[in-house]
Structure 1
Amino acid sequence: MEPEQPWHAAFPAPKTAEPASLTREEVLAKLRTGGVGREFILVDVRRNDYEGGTIRGSINLPAQSLFPTIPTLYQVFKNAGIKCIIWYCGSSRGRGTRAAGWFNDHIREQGDENMKSVILTGGIKGWANSGGDFIEFMDGYVSEYWTQFQS
């Protein structure tokens, strides 16, 4: 019996292996100043571990089903005037990085110099465990869930 392949093995590796990133402080500043008509969107790519809360205003697009939808997502974001897509997962070192890389590859293929695809440094774990202002910008925050990730 062959070992089970990781979910992402069904798709090409992103050409953009290390996408640009924003710190949680930079994203929090965007959330504070962004309102109706904002030019960025947060995308939470968690699936099985989608619990404990999410950053306010994020949409959930699980990484495992993301790749085939990228051309459509690009058009939706472009038509909505989105200029920055901020991807994150638990740590933003796996799924978030892969999603941002794939999307950045598609942006480049379109010759689009106005849109960018970045990751949230530290992912949702870093965000939720930073306390205070970060927690205030979470929907469905469950403190008990996040204590397992504190050092």
Structure 2
Amino acid sequence: MTLLSGGRSVPDSVEYIESDELASLLRNSALTPRVDYVIIDVRDDDFEGGNIVSAINVPSHRLMEQLPALVKQYAHVPKIIFHCALSQVRGPTSAGLYHQAAMQRIVVAGEPQQVLVLRGGFALWQAKFKDAADLIENYNRELWESEYM
């Protein structure tokens, strides 16, 4: 674990998925969200203004209480992808917590469940795909241009 300011820690073994790879998953008509992959967006109030298509919002401050249900509900899903705004703290921390909770009980088709973090988070995602209606929904361009530009 890497210790950050404020006593927060990020697992050292976090695996990342690049935005182009996630876009390919979303655009693959042979794959079904919440069956072949789940995207869990752990942004809190900053969830407003847009999200990745099919993403589930589980605010980071509520993750621990929802963790047992998430692990049980998505036990059959081979890829679980977490992200926050930048995927520097909340996303990796949440992925680590999920992975620890799921590690002992989840095996999908003989393979361990893959828990990933979207590199660059939603900030990078919206910068790349803000005009791709098949990849982003509820997008508020003005909010992102004023907030991150």
Q: What is the TM-score of this pair, normalised by structure 2?
A: 0.81
Q: Which amino acid aligns with 1:76?
A: Q
Give the whole-Å Cα distance in 2 for the aligned partners of 1:118 and 1:36. Answer: 15
Aligned to 1:88: 83
State the 1:70 CA deviation.
Answer: 1.6
Q: CA distance change for structure 1 residues 108 and 59 in 2, over 3 Å: closer, same or farther? A: same
Secondary structure of the equivalent of 1:43?
strand
Q: CA distance change for structure 1 residues 105 and 36 in 2, over 3 Å: closer, same or farther? A: closer
Give the whole-Å Cα distance in 2 for the aligned partners of 1:36 and 1:46. Answer: 19
Give the whole-Å Cα distance in 1 for the aligned partners of 2:86 and 2:126. Answer: 11
Give the whole-Å Cα distance in 1 for the aligned partners of 2:94 and 2:100. Answer: 10
Aligned to 1:149: 148
Q: 2:38 aligns with which of 37, 41, 45?
A: 41
Q: How many residues align?
A: 139
State the 1:65 CA deviation.
Answer: 1.0
Q: Which amino acid aligns with 1:140?
A: N
State the 1:136 CA deviation.
Answer: 4.1
Give the whole-Å Cα distance in 2 for the aligned partners of 1:36 and 1:100. Answer: 18
Give the whole-Å Cα distance in 2 for the aligned partners of 1:36 and 1:44. Answer: 14
Residue-by-residue CA offset, 1:68-98 (whole Å, 9 max, x unaligned): 32222111101xx211110010001111111
Determine which structure has the larger strand proportion and give its number: 2
Q: CA distance change for structure 1 residues 40 and 101 in 2, over 3 Å: closer, same or farther? A: same
Q: CA distance change for structure 1 residues 37 and 128 in 2, over 3 Å: closer, same or farther? A: closer
- Tell me how large the CA RMSD over aligned residues is: 2.4
Structure 2: any 5+ residue segments left out of the alignment?
1-5
Q: What is the TM-score of this pair, normalised by structure 1?
A: 0.80
State the 1:18 CA deviation.
Answer: 3.9
Give the whole-Å Cα distance in 2 for the aligned partners of 1:58 and 1:82. Answer: 14
Q: Which amino acid aligns with 2:62?
A: S
Aligned to 1:98: 93
Give the whole-Å Cα distance in 2 for the aligned partners of 1:107 and 1:125. Answer: 28
Q: CA distance change for structure 1 residues 144 and 115 in 2, over 3 Å: closer, same or farther? A: same
Give percent identity, aligned residues only.
Answer: 25
